[in-house]
Amino acid sequence: MESTANPSFETVWALVKELAERQKETDRILKENAERQAESQSESRKEAAERQKKIDRILEESAEIRKELSESQKETDRQIKEYNKRFGEFHNRFGEVVEYMIAPNLREKFRELGLDFPKANQNSDVRDYDNNIFLEIDVMLENGDRALLVEVKTKLTTEDVNDHIMRLEKMRKYADLHGDKRAFLGAAAGVVMTSNVKNYALDQGFYVIEPSGETFNITPPNGKPREW
């Protein structure tokens, strides 16, 4: 049998050196991979931190904007409230001015239309607690047979006309309960009114009073004046 010769020292040493070199290369590659992985993780953490900073900054800016909007809304609400208050005061006072402008000449104007009212009252009201009847009358013209209730508005609307109809119905009820047999007529006065509102009031049997130059005109209702 042929014997196999033992490897020489040089051969073994060469193999050991080669293995050592390969191990070194392997360690180098592993080290590089570990460093790259660490760099990648570090970069990811850095990017995440930057993103979080941006998010925090946006949230902070949003909070400031919401705060500013809230303060602005409060100021707007205050201004609107103040405007409504001032406009309401102006509207009421202007309405009073209109009443005092119209009232003194109403009897003369209606006399031209064949209606004689020797008595005129401004800002009268009815307070009947026993029968739960309450109403306010801007101007009331009276004679022995009839009374005319005038509603005065800066801007006359269909709702105002409907409210005046209800006012006359209450007046009729109150009069019946107290033995007042007079007929009640209605008139609506407005500094501003649309043609639709005017026609609506006339169709309801109202006299319509509106300004004309330095005075005012009275338009009789369409058909016979309505009586309550």
Question: What is the CA angle 43-49-54, rounded to 5?
Answer: 125
Q: What are phi and psi of 115, to 5 degrees?
A: -115, 120
Classify 104-219 by CATH class: alpha beta
CB burial of residue 163 (10 Å; 0-12, 13-18, 19+): middle
Mean pLDDT of the 21-33 span? 75
The number of residues in the chain equals: 228
Stretch 5-26: mean pLDDT:
66
- Pick the closest to residue 161 from 114, 101, 119, 201 (CA basis): 201
228 with 184: CB under 8 angstroms?
yes
Q: Is the pLDDT of residue 16 over 80?
A: no
Round the average pLDDT of the chain to a whole number and report it: 81
Count of CA atoms in the C-beta half-sphere (13 A) of 89: 5
- Least confident window among 53-62, 154-163, 214-223: 53-62
- Model confidence pLDDT, tens digit, residues 92-130: 544 555 555 566 678 888 989 989 999 888 888 899 999
pLDDT digits (tens, 9 = 90+) for 170-205: 999 999 999 999 999 999 998 889 999 999 999 999
State mean pLDDT over 29-33.
77
Q: Is the pLDDT of residue 1 over 50?
A: no
pLDDT for residue 3: 47
Ordered by start, the domain boundaries in the chain are 104-219
